[in-house]
Structure formats: C-alpha cells, structure tokens
Structure 1
C-alpha cells in the first residue's frame, strides 16, 4: 500500500540500527518494549512539532529513535504492496519485565507481544480502523529466523504472542501478514517507561470510571468517578485484567481501546506551541519511547508520516477485536472465527469499512469492560 511519508535524506549523524529477526543482525540483547497504540500515535503526533526545530533539536530527536529493518528481514516473502492510498501499521509490544520495566513483575524469559493492534488508515487519511489481536489467539505461525540466526519452523495452534518471542518484530510482522494477507507498511513499538513519561509530560489523562477498579496485580486502585491519571496510573489501567469484566485479556483490550480514545481527545488540546520546553519534552519523550521500521527511523520521515495522521481523532476511528471464540479445549485460549476474520481482512484490503456482520458472533467485543472508562 502507498506510503505517503517523505523519504528522508542520508543521515550521517546516526547509523541505522536493527532489531528483531533478520539476516545481518549483531548478536546483542534485544531492547524489549511494552507497546500501547496510544503512545505510538501520540509520539507520531508530537514529533511533528519537535521536527520543526533546528540543528541540535533535530539531531537529538533523530538519535532517540530505534529502528528495525523489516523489509530486509522479510525480503520478498510478503503480500503484494497494493497501491490504493491506504496504510497499514502494526503496533506491537512485549511483556518483558527486564531493564527499566523490572518493577512490573518477574522476567520469565524471552519477550512476548503483550498488545497487538493493526491500524488501517483509509485513503485520504481522514478515518481509520483498528483491529486488536488477542495475545492468546491460537494461530498457524510461519517459520521465522531467530535471534540465534536459526530457523524456527512455526506450527499449528501457536499462541499469537509467541511470534515476537521467537523472532522479534520481523516474525511478528510476518505472522500478521500471513494471517491477514495484508502487507504492513509500518511497524511501531513503545515501552513501559516511555509511556509513563509521555503521559506525565502531557499532564495526565482525564477519565471517568463508571465502576471502581481495584487490581493488586496492576497496582491500580480507583473509585468510581472522575480522575486525572498520571503515567503510573495510566499504565495500570491499560494493563489491568482482573479489576474489570471477566478478568480476561479480552476485557483488557476493551479498556485499552477506551483509554486510547480518551487520550487522543486530550492530545489535541495540549498547548505545546505556547511552551517551547513542553514541546521539546514531549518530542523527546515520544521519540525516546518508540521503535519503528527503518522507513520511519528518522525525524523527517516520522514527522511526514505523523502529519498524514494528525487529522484523525477518536471519533474517526472504528475499533474492534479480531473475531474470535473461546477454545472449547482450553478456556484460557481463543480461536479465530475464520469466516468472520476473512470479512475483516477483505474489507481492509479493499479499503472499506469493517462490516458489523464480521463481529456479531465474536466473543471479543461482547464484554462490558470498555464501558467502564469514559473520556471528557
């Protein structure tokens, strides 16, 4: 699909860096990040402002961005690049508890994708659809290169989030492309610490909880009512599973979608032009928080990409969970509803709205967790 971002010139100040599966990577520990689509979208928005700075500002922000060469890693084993003016972006995170994220729990080994969303931006860049993929979805995972330059054969009934564990961002993208038949134009990833800093710099997020949320696992303790959540509380909200709904990952996805809309509504009202320091702090936090594909791995390209998204508000987005059903053999896993899933992928591939019929029978959007949170 068409990428409307402006190609960046050669950047001699910062070498390209590679993460995830793909040939030619150095064997070094992979930076393991937590992804929230809200942070990625906000990062893309505020970097437009940061990109207007000169000299030091440009090179400082440019040096913050981490990049993954997905194109090189996957080569020609990808769906066709359909030129219809739309864009598809995989927003992905991991459940690693290492490094700065250690306070959120024990690191149980290799990182896994904790949150996964496909953002489809329609031609004209006025509307978007977001499809959340539950991490416990059992899928057919393709073979992928591992960090040890071996090949994992993949297989049937593999949890979706193991793709990132096995082969990093490249394997995650390959898995999504095999599932959907849609080529991902871009990849975005954001970590725990970056998310918290960005929310704090924004001054918090105003939400109303219609029910009390008490979850010791995510360290969240909110009574029903209106709150301004700081970064720590916001992170707790989008991570909570046991405080709302049936305690499943499906409920957490609904909370994340509600929070994203509340955040996007408020980002538009942030007075960054009136405060150069706040403008810089936001741009610095945003670019430090994200990992992108190599096509967006510099301020100029990221700013151009963000400029194409800035007109899309919360009311312009359709958010759904990939149509699924609970696995009759394991209530902790879910299975794709293949016919309904195909309706979703066919609609996005043709740049059409997702039909309501695609999600009517899905367990993914049936809960009431998304009704717990409201923006202002």
Structure 2
C-alpha cells in the first residue's frame, strides 16, 4: 500500500512517474536494456537529456542566456562550486542567513577563502523570520548576493527576491526545497541551483541555471566537474552523468507540464499549505513558530502543546499511513513537507488525523 510520505527529502514522487519508470525499467525505448544500462553517449540518452533541458527551459522561461547544468554532488556540492566559480580567495560575497542551509553555505564559502559578509542574520528569532526588504545593504565590491529561498528545516521562505538590494550584483539562490513549485523570474538571478530530491527526482543531482556571462571565471584549482564553463561546453557530460536521475527528471518535468505548468503547481501547493496552516492556526493544541509572511508552502513545522505526546502522535500517524512527520533533530516537533507530488488526499488525511488526535488527547 502506498503511504502519504511527508519526508523533507528524499521525498514522495508523482505516482504516474514511478509507474512509467517501472514499466520501462527492463526495456527502455525498445533497446532491450534499462535506462540504467545504456550508454550516456548513445543517441537515445543524449536525446533524453536534451529533452529534459528543453522542458526546464519551457517551464521556467530560461532563455539561451542561461546554461542548464545537471551536476553531481547535489546542492551541497554547489556550496563549494559557487565561490570556486565566482570568486578568488579574499573576495567578498554577501549572504542572508535565514537558517541552517544558508549557514552551511556561508561556512563553506569561508572555507574557500571568501570574506562572507552576513548582511542579514535572523538568529535572534531562532530563524523563524526573514529580513524585511530594504533592511540590509550589499557591500560595494561583493561578487554576489547569496540566499536560500526556502529553508527546509525551519519552514521559512523568503517572501521576495532581493533584486533592489543586490543593485546589479549577481543573485545566487538555493531553491532546492521549492524547485519548480511555482513560477520564477529566471532573469532576476545570476545562478539558480538546487538538489533534485524534493520535487524533481532522486537524491544526488544538482540542477543549476547559470547566466552565461558568469561562466569562465572559475579558479584554476576548481575540479573540472564543478567548473561551470567546462561542464556547459560538455553538455553536463564531461564525465558519466547521473543518467537515471536525468531520466526521472525528464518524466517529472513532463508530469508538471501536463499538470498545467508552474502556475498550476503554485495554485495547488498554496491551497494545500493554507489548509494545513488553517488547521494549525485554529487549534490550541498545535502551533507553527514561523511568522506568517515567511511561512513556507513546502515545509510546515508544527509542535504539540504537550511535547510528551510527540511519540504517540508519530506512532499513530505511521499506523494511519502518514509517514516521515518527525521534525528535524535540531528543531524537534513535527514537519510536513508538501512538495509537488503530495496529493490533496494526503493533506486531508493528515488534517483529519491531527483533529482526531487532538480530540482524544487534549
């Protein structure tokens, strides 16, 4: 029986995509082989990768001014690749610190010799807020402004793109937990990147959209597989790429397109999230710590009024087919991730369970 999987990642994937992949697993495109077995240099797979890129461009509106790269190492690999491609040691870069993932990126930039200037730090709120527009200034000479658009662990999302604050400085955004969950103005960014394992496939692959004028700036010691220009020139195939991830990405992209595109995804995702937030906000038994304007539509943390009931809540949820609701170890409580593939029925089942648990335990 399929469960309702609220994991923050690796996350629930669309059932039609999984069924399609299962049906093709032993014989892909009448090759007599699995997609896991075919050559990445063969015409079938190169066409598969080209189709995935073309579909990303259609969905996002990314023009030929941007390279689309499929890279190993997930988003964390890009924490190193970004300073390696955009700075020399001693250069300045600006950062918004809104939670654990932006903090990890800051730490890695510092390890790469970057003067990482934190222009806004939400630590005082325990990372339950985002900085107000106009409340921070990017230092003169900064090579880029970096932020995490959606903090998976804390359930915090930036409610705006800081274009005015960047003042011509390239904006670099980690969009891992909200990738293709809603429309995005690609032209506002220098780099958009994220791991696939939330909305776009299995863990291990990063998908980066990089403005082409930012290519060719890599330090001499950057590994070739993380040198954006080298990888762009090789169509992400300098080495053997993550072929199965690219194949599944293509199926998921077509599923998004067939489901109405990013505008339809946003409408569905916002409706799912609002229903769960309403259930939390109208209850004295559950609470969400994030300020309302900064709430994520993808990752919704919540706590019980009596933390001693957490174990019973999770056990009952598992019995009801509601899995992976335990909050991150650093935050505690619960967390429901409502990525693109989470169904309305799944959200309804969670809300019904929460109401029944409150009725019997409050």
Structure with the largest fraction of helix? 2
The interval holding the TM-score normalised by the smaller chain is under 0.3
